[in-house]
Amino acid sequence: MKCILLCLALVAWQGSQALKVIEAEPDLVMQGEDKNAGPVMVCYYRSWAVYRPGKGKFDVEDIPPALCTHIIYGFAGLRNNQIISLDPWNDLYENYGKGAYDRFNSLKKQNADLKTIIAIGGWNEGSSRYSEMAKSPATRKTFVDSVMAFLPKYGFDGLDMDWEYPTQRGGKPEDKVNFISLLQELKAALHSKGYLLTAAVSAGKLTIDPAYDVPAMAEALDIINVMAYDMHGAWDPYAHHQTPLYAHPKDEGNNLYFNVDFAIQYWLKLGAPASKIAMGMGLYGRCFTLQRAENHDVYDPAPQAGMAGPYTRDPGFMGYNEICEKQMQGGWTIVDDPNMMAPYTYKDRQWCGYEHIESITTKAKYAADNNLMGGMVWSIDTDDFHNTCGNGEFILIKTIFSTLLGGGPLPTLPPTTTTPFDPSAPTTPTTTTLSTPLFINLCKTVGYNADPTDCTIFYECSVGDYGEWIMHTFRCPPGTAFVPDLGICDYEGKYPELCK
């Protein structure tokens, strides 16, 4: 509490001196993707993972820049036909925010080949606003213009359209045509400046048919991220896997469509080129509460959602990190279903269909065997990023990427280090952030620590009463950079090696 009051007082005192975030033009990227390049590994990041408790908290700096070719920040929103931040305090530096957009894009300083993309939409945003925006040339232009201002302001390399879904959930029948007009206009504007245009799309036939003109979408998009998961869940009255590779023998009717193989082959059949499809894989499970503990097979009655995980705290959903952690505690049975080629696990009345190392290997091999552009994960923040379960940090993403590369070595980056020093010069603090143990990646020692990805940011670190790191974030004045050896902000031009 003392730290909170002190930090708030410091922020208030410095209010009139707050510095405007320096905006830089992004490096231009090639239109589309290099067809001779290796497979893509697209990693979605749920920005609200930063609010999870304990070991579940996942911030921008926890993203491994070498393990993804594209990272997508979810989500921006739509208001008055313009793209906006949905969480300004976390996303922006303005008004003493945390500046996650800028920090996210600074990850490219560690991996020059990394592409950063902002996703707009998502399930919670619904469809009605997007339907209204796409309905006329004037409203679409308002949106496109806002995107073209938004991307360079924060340094993103492209836009991911995650409209869920045209014609549905508050949409209109004409959305199918209007969505294509929107994508075509976005493509023209974005590609003229070297930006990418991608989209997250449904894997369900019952959604695809009314919503998508697949050949026209494929022509407009650089990457088609097929969300081949969430095919079953607590909305069903029975237990079933959320991302089976193949159909279960008991599947019939519309359930015959709810498997990865059908979804990918259907997109291909409708005209999507394999070279543009990133096959989505879920790094989480959908969980059920069985009616009776002794009845724990697929299609056995499960009238309630499963218990919430300790970090994601969403009934019927648990991250892979939460599932494997519970399995480590004992008492869980794991069944590898040979028909679906996917595992489920149960204990008493709790049942979860999920992915493990073997099943995710099989799915990644399926993507490679079908000559797809690569893989996609939703989402990076529910992999076992702490190596709690002993198989290695980010084991599922590493397994996917390695399999897509034909078993070859994963990309690596040189280690990032910070140099301790004795603080000596006053600077102007522009944001204040309270720490958790995850900030150990930034706080290497008591005192000032350089940011590993942004030469204009540094941290003052101290140890709290319970051994936790307490961290204050500082930004140097415009035109200057933090010099670790001196412990001061000095003119950036004098130290070109700091801001490469």
- Decide if pLDDT at 332 tops 80: yes
pLDDT in tens, 119-151: 999 999 999 999 999 999 999 999 999 999 999
Per-residue model confidence (pLDDT) at position 376: 98
Both tokens assigned to 423:
């603080």
**DSSP H or E stretch at residue 76:** strand 70-79
Task: Indicate the domain borders of the chain.
Answer: 1-27+428-500, 31-282+354-404
Instruction: Pick 102 or 37 by higher pLDDT.
Output: 102
Instruction: For residue 317, give every residue at least 6 positions away whose Cβ sits within 8 Å of its Cβ, in sequence order, or none.
Output: 233, 284, 285, 286, 287, 306, 308, 309
Instruction: Pick 450 or 356 by higher pLDDT.
Output: 356
Other Cβ atoms less than 10 A from the Cβ of 440: the count is 13
Q: Averaged over 295-301, what is the pLDDT?
A: 98
Beta pairing partners, 347: 350
Query: What whole-number distance in Å separates Cα of residue 360 and Cα of residue 341?
Result: 10
Question: For the chain, what is the largest distance between any 2 Cα atoms, rounded to a whole number of angstroms?
Answer: 71
Q: For residue 26, what pLDDT band results from cuts at 50, 70 and 90?
A: very low
* Fold entry, domain 31-282+354-404: TIM Barrel (3.20.20)
Q: Is 274 exposed, middle or buried (0-12, 13-18, 19+ CB in 10 A)?
A: middle
pLDDT in tens, 335-388: 999 999 999 999 999 999 999 999 999 999 999 999 999 999 999 999 999 999
- Decide if pLDDT at 432 tops 50: no
Residues forming the active site: 164
Both tokens assigned to 50:
């930063």
pTM for the full predicted model: 0.79
Both tokens assigned to 366:
């399926």
Q: For residue 35, what pLDDT band results from cuts at 50, 70 and 90?
A: very low
pLDDT in tens, 153-169: 999 999 999 999 999 99
Both tokens assigned to 406:
């034909």
- Considering only CA atoms, which of 161, 193, 194 is closest in space to residue 180? 161
pLDDT in tens, 227-283: 999 999 999 999 999 999 999 999 999 999 999 999 999 999 999 999 999 999 999
Per-residue model confidence (pLDDT) at position 483: 85
